Amino acid sequence: MSSIYDYVVIGSGLSGLSIASRLSQETEKVLLLDSSEVAGGWLRKPHLAIIPESPLAEKGLQFLEDLTGIKIQGDVIEQSPLTYDEGTFKAFMGFGEKTPDFYEELAPYCSSRFYNLKALPPLWIERLLENFKGTFSPRSIVTKFIVENGQVQHVLVNGTKKILGKNFIYCGDVKSLNRLLPSEFINGKVQTKISKTKTWTRATLQIDHEALVTDNPAFHILIGTAQEEIVTCVGQFQGPHSTWITFVPDEEAEDAEVVGQALKRIKRQIKRAYPDSINENTLEKISVQPNFGGHFDIKLSANQSWPELENLWIGSGTVQKNRNIVGTLNQAQLVLASLGFLAADLENEASHEAEI
């Protein structure tokens, strides 16, 4: 029995790591699996951290502060994002007819009220790992759920290794459930819905400028012109450095040239707004993260478990309508509440009340 874990958490991003860290305070027989070499998911990658003000966000940050033991939420900042249009900088008022398909992924950056973060995501990950008392298994790719009598009995890792557990919490890519779950527990209609859900690759460009470009810390939302194919991006200057992101559909991002063209267009937009900001000596760093965004509108059981599988919970943030950090933290709290380790006074944005 010593080889049977009380909880097996699949995926060590913010949701999985938060859930595993909390569960390990109750029992050390918690196993955290991840396909990568290190825990933390996309929060370890370069990105622009922003959390717009909302009651749900405040609950999420308080939850994270309780788990990490550090102060994260600062005062609310009031600052409208900027855009560059017709040769001048203006307060961003919306996309109008140029609204990108990935608007929901950019929506947090369009907010004019957001929290000043006293501690940034890398420190969250560090503290969550320090507080985790279970076992972390990197380079562990889950390849199949094995089900008997309506319960997951074990998972196969890397094709051959059996991991037995009493409870399983899946915090990975929802699209992978189509191949991980036995066909009798995921019907064709659900498979089609999952496979057709549009997901996004986030492309990030970090630039080390030779000199200070601007001391304005506002987020910049830049929209390209029709003549060069519109690519919308958001960025921020921090001293002599800046970080910019855009999104490409996952199916298109498999072609590296498509991502490369999107990043080139970002640079053109930056140079249009700040002509002297980029030259041949400018240092750049690129980060590409597939399966970053999207929303899987699927119905889970009321306790966040997969229908007809009473010991498989879904902790992936993409089942929440809220994007980015807020949705991820909300789903982690909902799962922990259903397991009895958190007060169940949360808003379930995904309205998981009916079975599939």
CATH 3.50.50.60 fits 4-64+122-197+294-338, yes or no: yes
Residue 228: the pLDDT is 56
Q: Is the pLDDT of residue 193 over 60?
A: yes
CATH topology of domain 75-117+199-293: D-Amino Acid Oxidase; Chain A, domain 2 (3.30.9)
Q: What is the pLDDT of residues 56-112, one digit of tens each?
A: 999 999 999 999 999 999 999 999 999 998 889 999 999 988 899 999 999 999 999
Q: Where in the chain is the domain with CATH 3.50.50.60?
A: 4-64+122-197+294-338
Q: What is the pLDDT of residues 29-52, one digit of tens each?
A: 999 999 999 999 888 877 788 999
Q: What is the mean pLDDT of residues 322-337?
A: 94
pTM for the full model?
0.92
Q: Is the pLDDT of residue 351 over 60?
A: no
Q: Is the pLDDT of residue 153 over 90?
A: yes
Residue 43: the pLDDT is 84
Sign (positive or negative) of CA dihedral 335, 336, 339, 344? negative
Average pLDDT, the chain: 91
DSSP H stretches of helix in the chain = 14-23, 55-68, 103-106, 121-131, 177-180, 188-196, 250-253, 256-273, 324-338
CA atoms in the 13 A half-sphere facing the CB of 182: 18
Orientation of helix 55-68 relative to helix 121-131, angle to 10°: 50
Q: Which comes out higher in pLDDT, residue 22 or 43? A: 22
Residue 297: the pLDDT is 93
Q: Where in the chain is the domain with CATH 3.30.9?
A: 75-117+199-293
Residue 219: the pLDDT is 96
CA geometry: angle 67, 293, 288, nearest 5 deg: 95
Q: Percent of the chain scored above 70 by pLDDT?
A: 94
Residue 353: the pLDDT is 35
Q: Is the pLDDT of residue 230 over 80?
A: no
Cβ contacts of residue 69 below 8 Å, gap of 6+?
127, 131
Q: What is the pLDDT of residues 280-300, one digit of tens each?
A: 778 999 999 998 889 999 999
Residue 229: the pLDDT is 64
